[in-house]
Amino acid sequence: MTHTRLSDYLQQQQVDDALQQVVHAVSRASNDINHALSKGALAGVLGAAGAENVQGEDQKKLDVIANDLLKATLSAEPAVRGVASEEEPDVVPCHQDGRYLVTFDPLDGSSNIDINSMVGTIFSVLAHTGSEDAVEADFLQAGRQQVAAGYVLYGPSVILVLSTGKGVAMFTLDPDSGDYLLTDDEVSIPADTGEFAINMSNQRFWAEPMQRYIAELLAGKDGPRGKNFNMRWVAAMVADVHRILCRGGLFSYPWDNRKPEQAGKLRLMYEANPMGFLVEQAGGKVWTPEGPILDIQPQQIHQRVPVILGAANEVQRCVDYHQAG
């Protein structure tokens, strides 16, 4: 069976040359990240880096390695005006005539690294419309203005999931050729589901509407929903969202009261927005309790947001509970 290469797919989708350069740069960097991950303890890349990122989270060695690989590869592309990363305190200007801005989480789920579980790279691409040298204000665009978004999942096989605004496609890395080959170009999320993903250890800290919603799911067929639900949790957004894109479901990382002044755990610009773009392109919904995530006007690059995404009917039900007070 012949599979379409990523490069051919982008041309068939009539993606402009500059955006193709950006996507190919991400794919090349992902190959290098995968190579570093595959060596693991043999290369001495596991464990803590001994520093914190701008959010005050402990960095893993591979967080730093992945960030440096992506930053170097993207910065070398003339199409890239600037980049912003979870691991960088400030935006990084690149080429003054570049057309695109790229935000990324270089290694989502890095707490899974040392147990050899799934991790991934999440990225978002925006058109540059601002200052000569890319500055933070240029990146502060609502999620609906993304021109492309995707992620790379590093698992038993390496999978690149991409949308340029014309649906969602999945590509699998061919380890022999190094090419990403199209394996699914009709990704779709069913509106209903019997599966959800959430960190239940935080349940006691959630707002009452989320408590009510999850309690109904846990009650199963004897409860008000009248059916059983299965719970899955990988502790990596990229893996949980990938499962939803493959077979449906709902994912949430809600607000909790341990840090009431903090909107949520996940970052809007390089986690919620790119994943939201993919989910909507696949027919799902992505909301906060207040409204659609892709409509939020960002205030700063590392802004956080509560997330509810996946099967459209389940997301709507959960949001309805919140909006009803």
Is 112 annotated to bind ligand? no
Looking at residue 111, what is its pLDDT?
80
pTM for the full predicted model: 0.94
Span 300-305, mean pLDDT?
96
| Least reliable range by pLDDT among 39-53, 58-72, 259-273 | 39-53
- CATH architecture type of domain 6-184: 2-Layer Sandwich (3.30)
Q: Which residues pair with 250 in a beta bridge?
A: 196, 310
Tens digits of residue pLDDT in 154-170: 999 999 999 999 999 99
Maximum distance among all Cα pairs of the chain, rounded to whole angstroms = 61
Is 107 annotated to bind ligand? yes
In 3D, which of 313, 234, 314, 310 has the Cα closest to residue 275? 310
State which amino acid sits at residue 71: K
Region label for 178, one of left (φ > 0), alpha (ψ between -120 and 50) or beta (otherwise)? left
Is 86 annotated to bind ligand? yes
Work out the pLDDT band at 58, boundaries 50, 70, 90.
Answer: low
Is 199 annotated to bind ligand? yes
Is 227 annotated to bind ligand? no
In 3D, which of 238, 198, 228 has the Cα closest to residue 318? 198
The CATH number assigned to the domain with range 195-323 reads 3.40.190.80
Work out the pLDDT band at 40, boundaries 50, 70, 90.
Answer: confident
Report residue 238 as tokens.
């990229």
| Least reliable range by pLDDT among 11-15, 46-50, 154-158 | 46-50
DSSP 8-state code for residue 274: H
Is 280 annotated to bind ligand? no
Looking at residue 260, what is its pLDDT?
86
HSE-up (13 A, CA, CB side) for residue 163 = 25
- Does residue 34 surpass a pLDDT of 70? yes
E-state strands within 68-218? 80-85, 92-93, 100-108, 119-127, 146-154, 158-163, 169-173, 180-184, 195-197
Domain ranges of the chain: 6-184, 195-323
Percent of the chain with pLDDT strictly greater than 70: 94
Tens digits of residue pLDDT in 212-268: 999 999 999 999 999 999 999 998 999 999 999 999 999 999 999 998 888 899 999
Is 60 annotated to bind ligand? no
Tens digits of residue pLDDT in 180-209: 999 999 999 999 999 999 999 999 999 999
Beta pairing class for 230-231 and 195-197: parallel
CB-based contacts of 130, cutoff 8 Å, min separation 6 = 137, 138
Is 110 annotated to bind ligand? yes
Is 271 annotated to bind ligand? yes
What is the spatial distance between Cα 126 and Cα 148, in angstroms, rounded to a whole number?
Answer: 7
Tens digits of residue pLDDT in 81-126: 999 999 999 999 999 999 999 999 999 988 887 888 899 999 999 9
What is the spatial distance between Cα 275 and Cα 286, in angstroms, rounded to a whole number?
Answer: 8
User: Is residue 252 a contact partner of residue 263, using CB atoms and an 8 Å limit?
Assistant: no
Looking at residue 132, what is its pLDDT?
82
